[in-house]
Amino acid sequence: MSKKILIAAALAVAVGLPAGAMATPEEDRIQFRNHFQDRFSEVPLEEYPNGVYAIDPVGRENWEAIEEFPPYEPFIDTGRDMWEKPFANGKTYADCFPDGPGIAHKYPHWDKDKGMVMTLPLALNNCREANSEEPLKYKKGPINDLLSYIAFESRGEVTNVVVPEDDPRALAAYEDGKKFYYTRRGQLNFSCAHCHVQNGGLVLRTETLSPSLGHTTHFPVYRSKWGTVGTLHRRFTGCNKQVRAKPFEAHGEEYRNLEYFLTYMSNGLELNGPGARK
């Protein structure tokens, strides 16, 4: 199944097939999920939000020990303070997001009015700017505190990304994200799918490669390598650098569309962020 996915995607990129010519998003998602369930038949579907620890029993033991005293807890507390603290004009994030703070499952989504994929960090900065506040940096710093709190309050919600059938621009954004995921790049000539679809579960430089399914459910994450919490787009940046490719702008069109596709692939899985990883 994985070879069919990779070959079909590579062929579409190579010959320039129009958006939607290969398969519908839902057909993609079913193929994507079936690949991992066939490859790791002993792993229950609900385990995939745990990332590599769903398939690596040794790593899981260490991870479970870390989760007894989660390193991301201080960030949740700081994020709660940020959510509740009024802006200079007296309003708060709750005025922009009345259904909050447990809103992580509503992102990313297609914003028909703006004609673009709307991610949660971008929406938070739009809220700040609408209230005459400076936007936050997208990969490091306070944005992660706020996202950690929102993710914590969203635990148990289910990923449910929608690609509206009545707006071809949404399908084009999804297809762009899909193309990004399967396209080789950088001096190492790797795609995202090479590591996390084709070789998920194999060992590279002593590290087990995590499966793509569930990748977006646990962000932001505290990485021991970083010594702090980081966003999904920071991780995208790191992956591009690891294959020696020039990264794109965080929450620019390329990474927003990539997030749209990758999150759609995890539809039906529960959110369990913030997470802890090596």
Query: Which entry of 96, 192, 195, 239 is annotated as an active-site residue?
Result: 239
Positive or negative, the CA dihedral 31, 32, 35, 40 is: negative
239 catalytic per annotation: yes
Strand order in the sheet with 275-277: 228-230, 221-223, 275-277
Active-site residue list: 239
